[in-house]
Amino acid sequence: MTQAHLPRGPVMADVAAFHLTDEEKQRLQDPAVGGVILFRRNFENVAQLKALVQEIKAVRTPELIIAVDHEGGRVQRFIDGFTRLPAMNVLGEIWDDISPAAAREKAEQVGWVLATELSACGVDLSFTPVLDLDWGQCAVIGNRSFHRNADIVTELALALQRGLNKGGMKSCGKHFPGHGFVEGDSHHVLPQDDRSLAELEAADIVPFRKLSAAGMAAVMPAHVVYPQVDANPAGFSAKWLKDILRHDIGFKGVIFSDDLTMEGACGVGGIKERAQISFDAGCDIVLVCNRPDLVDKLRDGFEIPTNPDLAARWQYMANTLSAAGAQAVMETPEFKAAQAVTAGLATPKDLANGVKVGEAF
């Protein structure tokens, strides 16, 4: 197949299995598409993953940006041949039980290992860190959160971000302005958080504000409604994305929607309506996962909004460390020591938990 030279569009799609089908190659050449998100179903082993990434990147020029939800704990898409990453609350426990300095050091090492191992496979981005606070009542967040305390979450996320950057990878904070207080899982319902903006500002928004000031590259909003602020879920709300995130907080990076096929996104119409509302609200890039039929529907007759900054925003998310460079780093004693430390933090419960196939987080 001849490689096409096409601009990267504002849709991030996915693929079904270990290799691209001819239909997928055609779909990924559509100008609406700019990136691909991978899942557990796309991973057999490291060699296969590297081949799939190369196959995707050979489809067109400039290359599609490749992302994955690879946080640690129960949200780690690639396992065999990768260092098992701890759930982030393990780092919060180290902060409480040992020392803040030890927790920061280990958080940076985890971020470095996470990013470098993905970079060696040609993956550009992991949607991490989770900046949600652990209020003890949201099962879908739970131990994915560093801590209940907003300042501790901030410090550990900053350390993880340093490690990610060292491994050539940008950071993506989620789920703005905070998913940890609600009980519902937005994969299945549309949760509602009845707190005021002042209450959110005093706690959940703190990590987003501080990470933004420290160069956080991307944000993913929550499929959660905060009715005291706006009637729309945050990812469909210009109040949240344009007024608060962009204008008040001053965030300059990329805004990804969360998956538009999640139940929390389904109350606002069909896929074209959801995408249009997301773009109007301020999202730069929308995710459409596990439903190639909806990607095709979105491609069919949908007027993709003109965003003069999109090319630069996509390029900004590209990995800055080549696969060969990352592989060389992985052979160093310093990196092998960081892998050992990281693997030692993963608890038996982390290791026993399976990865849910097909879910975006």
State the catalytic residues.
187, 258
Q: Provide the pairing of β-strand 225-226 with 125-126.
A: unpaired
- Rounded to whole angstroms, the Cα distance separating 127 from 293 reads 24
**Contact residues for 317 (Cβ-Cβ < 8 A; gap 6+):** 35, 65, 67, 124, 125, 170, 217, 218, 254
Alpha-carbon dihedral sign for residues 109, 113, 115, 119: positive
How many Cβ atoms sit within 10 Å of the Cβ of residue 87?
Answer: 26
**Contact residues for 213 (Cβ-Cβ < 8 A; gap 6+):** 250
- Rounded to whole angstroms, the Cα distance separating 313 from 10 reads 10
Peptide bond into 7 cis (omega under 30): no
**Contact residues for 292 (Cβ-Cβ < 8 A; gap 6+):** 13, 14, 16, 24, 27
Give the HSE-up count for residue 62: Cα atoms under 13 Å, Cβ half-sphere: 15
